[in-house]
Structure 1
Amino acid sequence: MSTNRPSSGIELFDRAGIDNPYPLYRQLRDIGPAVWLERHGLWCVPRYKDVKAVLGDHRRFTTSQGVAMDPAVNAATSGPGKANSLTSDPPFHDKMRRVTGAPLLPGALKDIQDTIHETARKVVDDICARRRVDGMADVAHVLPLTVVSELVGLPAYGRESMLRWAAATFNAMGPMNDLGKQALVEIQELHRFCREDAVPGKLKPSGWAARIYDAAGRGEIPIEQCPGMMREYIGPSLDTTIFATGHLLRLLGEHPDQWRLLKDDRTLIAAAINEALRMEAPIRSFSRYVRETSVFDDVAIPAGDRLLVLYASANRDERKWERPDDFDITRNPRDHLAFGFGIHTCAGMHLARLEITALLTALLDRVERFDVGTPEISYNNTLRGYASLPMTVHPA
């Protein structure tokens, strides 16, 4: 076995690391295919090839013991009665994914496509009238917080708290720094809500969340799994789409040449979305538990260790992409890893694409160009996105 053990004292989770992690990712990629993070006592894989290999091998690199960095958080979110499809292996993963993923499949989304596009047009009409807006609150937030939260069908307090709980959930997936510790109280509130309030009689009968209990009633899943599965609709359905939309707005606002390309050729819409996801992955990292000793080139990671999968680093790996720090919508990087890869690929990616495509189409219809100011970073251990994005709209 190789004795090569590359290591680094790089800190990815302080304010500087959250503000601009990309130079740090490059340093890690240059150190090796797998790097021991001295500050956190776990490995990371920073290169595209290795990240994809880990994500594609759920047997060796399992999520069934959690995807956080902290052992207590992993214990609280995995195992019988606590897991969801992200923190489980087949065959149980497949049973849960069939339930929670069903309304998110392309065929099912056809039923809400018109509503999504109509709402997007109203959003763009509004910002064209106002001219100076916040690209996050006035654009990126609207579809997830209106259409999608209504489709999930939680009680009113749950809908109002979804963003707050989602941010806390993702903060707890990182180290137990100040952000992680502050998140724990809100996560306890979320878990109580899932056990006591997100239940039949309080859920919207036709909503996505109610389908979880319907499936339990049919014997497809154990009823004790329902609260854990409920969390799948509270976090990932909102923040990741909101932040991906914000990144696309900033990138197109800062690169008017790319906006003009898109105005001239709408067949590039999907490519523009893919390139923004590659450039700015909304989820920076999740962890995996290593079930058996695994070798990355000349670096061996022992069984029983934990490794951090750096999606955002992989998406800017110069071994995979030419000019990885350049925003180029003609690139169309369909094999980016912002939505993951393998059996745990993001179940909501089709919904996210539908929402972002609807907004972008409406913007292209009504807006000649738009300018953006300096975004305010949203500080989170796992997510990368903005709290606000100044935006000036110039209607066509």
Structure 2
Amino acid sequence: MTTPSILSTPVSDVDPFSPGVLEDPLPFQAELRDAGAVVHLSTYDAYAMGRYEQVKAALSDWQTFQSAAGVGLSNFRYEKPWRPPSLLLEADPPHHDAPRAVLSKILGPREIRRLGEAWAADAQSLVEDLLSKGTEFDAVVDLAAAFPLRVFPDAVGIPQAGRENLLPYGDHVFNAFGPHNELVAKGAPRVPELSASIAAQCARGVLAPGGFGAQIWAAADRGDITEAQAPLIVRSLLTAGVDTTVNGLAAVLYAFATNPDQWARLRENPALARTAFDEAVRLESPVQTFFRTTTRDIEVGGTFIPEGKKILMFLGSANRDPRRWENPDAFDLSRDPSGHVGFGFGIHQCVGQHIARMEAATLLEVLARRVTSFNISGPTRRHHNNTLRAWESLPVSIRTA
């Protein structure tokens, strides 16, 4: 990474989607932050932001940094999307307003509180079943993936058939936000099958009464959204509501397994469960990157960015920026992690974050009552994705209360 002169834009020829960077993005992100407020990525002729100040500002300024041209590398001004764009992630006002308002109401803190008792029972059952089989297991497969896949599809109201496609479909969607590399090519053969499966689960007739999906269709009946928008909004829930939570849960479990003192703090004060999840989301940032597109010529941090250019915002880098966070690489439950951009920021901030927090807190509170310690018990493996910071395997051994 080079900075030719004070007046010129720092340039990097590193591919942030290469296997090495996806395996361990932290060294590249540190170089990115040190190089400047904005860095030109020569591989993709795009501009990158790795510092907290600029990332947060760009996320907040939808008028200048638009989402409607796609939140991936593909520019919808010139390229046809491989699927209908998301009405939440890939739309700006006014098209973004009605779908966002409907989901914000359905997924609001008060509305989802009614799920708490049932989810606590599900978490208790899952943990007891797991512990009855022994004290060694894979925290990704047996906890981080198992719990969201147990409770979230039920909350949406989708049928049992086809749920096995949720994670692979989401994995491909998040890969497709990046370049057309080997990760996208690997998922491409299943796209027709997976897309058809997810579309079938968004139809009015298959959704259980009272679930999030049925409530979205009821909003269409009221005229709050159109009938054409309803299945796309349900699809957004299914796309963004599983993989991100799975990887957020894996992140917090890994953080506790490698920071036993913080697990002891949580056991002493289970009310820290939500803080712990947000601190893990800050530290690991399950959603590492999103793109925007400039709607006008703009200067950021002394760098001129022309209209129509892709901007790659490194959320994970911003969340470890020492200009914003003290001791940013530490997992610390005494920290106030609010303000992190792991859920985005501004009008496109994750509408399902309250659901994710409740899922995580529910599971952590049950674990805190039953598990005295976590330890990594074998080789861990990352799962590479162009957008997500994900885990493939996280073997742990535990001690129980």
Q: Equivalent of 1:385, from 386, 390, 399?
A: 390
Deviations 1:284-319 (A, max 9, x none): 111001111222221121111010111000000111
Q: TM-score, normalised by structure 2?
A: 0.92
Distance change in 2, residues 1:139/1:193 (3 Å): closer
CA contact (8 A) 2:169 2:195 kept: no
Give 3-state SS (helix, strand or coil) of 2:336's partner: coil
Compute the displacement of 1:133 (Å): 0.9
CA contact (8 A) 1:54 1:61 kept: yes
2:120 and 2:310 mapped to 1: Cα distance? 42
Residue 31 of structure 2 corresponds to residue 13 of structure 1: no
Counterpart of 1:120 in structure 2 is 123
Letter of the structure 1 residue corresponding to residue 254 of structure 2: R
1:223 and 1:314 mapped to 2: Cα distance? 38
Compute the displacement of 1:241 (Å): 0.8
Distance change in 2, residues 1:260/1:341 (3 Å): same
Distance change in 2, residues 1:201/1:271 (3 Å): closer
Q: Which is further off, 264-273 or 43-52?
A: 264-273
2:192 and 2:311 mapped to 1: Cα distance? 26
CA contact (8 A) 1:77 1:87 kept: no
1:55 and 1:140 mapped to 2: Cα distance? 28
Equivalences, count = 393
Residue 203 of structure 2 corresponds to residue 199 of structure 1: yes
2:101 and 2:339 mapped to 1: Cα distance? 24
Task: Give the unaligned 5+ runs of structure 2.
Answer: 1-5
Task: Summarize the alignment of residues 1-396 of structure 1 with structure 2, pairs less than 5 Å apart.
Answer: 4-71=8-75, 75-76=80-81, 82-129=85-132, 130-193=134-197, 195=199, 198-373=202-377, 374-396=379-401
Compute the displacement of 1:197 (Å): 5.4
CA contact (8 A) 1:134 1:390 kept: yes
User: What RMSD, in angstroms, separates the aligned Cα atoms of the two structures?
Assistant: 2.0
Compute the displacement of 1:74 (Å): 6.5
2:190 and 2:399 mapped to 1: Cα distance? 40
1:380 and 1:268 mapped to 2: Cα distance? 30
2:111 and 2:16 mapped to 1: Cα distance? 39
Distance change in 2, residues 1:281/1:82 (3 Å): closer
Deviations 1:153-202 (A, max 9, x none): 22433322111101110010111101123334444444434555532223
Letter of the structure 2 residue corresponding to residue 280 of structure 1: E
Give 3-state SS (helix, strand or coil) of 1:160's partner: helix
1:356 and 1:37 mapped to 2: Cα distance? 36
Off by >6 Å, runs of 4+ in structure 1: none
Task: Give the unaligned 5+ runs of structure 1.
Answer: none
1:65 and 1:189 mapped to 2: Cα distance? 26
Counterpart of 2:3 in structure 1 is none
Distance change in 2, residues 1:327/1:83 (3 Å): closer
2:303 and 2:190 mapped to 1: Cα distance? 39
Distance change in 2, residues 1:194/1:226 (3 Å): farther
